[in-house]
Structures are given as C-alpha cells and as structure tokens.
Amino acid sequence: MEHEAAINPAAPHHLPFFIAAPGQADVLFVATGIAVLLAVVGIGIFYFKLHALPEQMAHRGQKVQFEIVAVLALIALFTHNHAFWIAALLLALVPLPDFSTPLNSMAQSLGRMAGRREPDAPAQADEPAVPAAAAAEPLPLEQKRA
C-alpha cells in the first residue's frame, strides 16, 4: 500500500471559497442559516406591525371604536380571515360620531329640570332636592304660549 493516490497540487486552487476542508466549519451553511433566521424574524415583525395597523389608527379615536377594531383585528389574527382585518381597517378609517356625550348632557339637563340630584353629588338629608323658591317658580319649558 505504498502506492497511495497522490492529490494533484492544482486541485485545491480550483475549488470555490465556500467548500470547506474536512474538519472545518461550513461558512456558507452558517451564513445561510443566520440569513434565514433573520428573514423569518423580520417577516414576522412586519406581519405583526401590519396586523396592528388598524388598532394604531383607531387608538386616537373613541374608546368604543378602538375596542371594536381591536376585537376585529384579534379575530382576524386567530382565524386568518382577511375580511375581519379589512373591516377593522375600514372602521378605523371612518370616524364614528360621538353619540354618548350629547345624550349624557341631555340626560343631565333633564335630571336638573326634574329636580334630581347629580349622581356624583353627595346626598344631603336635611336639604330638599328642590328648594322651595325654585319649586314655586314655573320652569322655562312650562311657560304659556302667547
């Protein structure tokens, strides 16, 4: 067995740089693994940022609108149904009118006209809800028509 095959001295010079010698680390494999890992993480970050877009847009709006948009986006995330995400995006784009503030104001005004105390005011047992002088006067809405 003295007759071993001799390696041509020109052979290693013709090999590409990414072919590793026996026992050496495979540089191309490590670089590809890192690139794939970074790509998967980057695509995941982009997906979640895009998925949270309706919630970020509705955040400056009303609380009810934000809650509805958040629920639609969460349903879209778990069901992979794009219709929910599109509905959330459209709902975030359209400003909803504020119905609760005028209705609360009307209810408080009617409560004051009826002589009821404010819900956040402390109850006082010794004072009547409507002073006697105010009870004798007619309310502005009860004035006679001319």
Domain contains 62: yes
Domain contains 85: yes
Indicate if the pLDDT at residue 126 is higher than 60.
Answer: no
pLDDT at 129: 56
Count how many domains the chain has: 1
Domain contains 54: yes
Domain contains 133: no
Residue 82 in tokens: 């794009």
Structural domain that includes position 81: 48-95
* pLDDT, the chain, mean: 80
Domain contains 88: yes
Q: How many Å apart are CA 23 and CA 37, to the nearest integer?
A: 25
Q: How many Å apart are CA 129 and CA 118, to the nearest integer?
A: 10
83, 62 in Cβ contact below 8 A?
no
Residue 124 in tokens: 């006082």
Query: What count of residues does the chain have?
Result: 146
Indicate if the pLDDT at residue 122 is higher than 80.
Answer: no
The tens digit of pLDDT for each residue in 6-65 reads 767 766 666 777 888 778 888 899 999 999 999 999 999 999 999 889 998 888 878 888
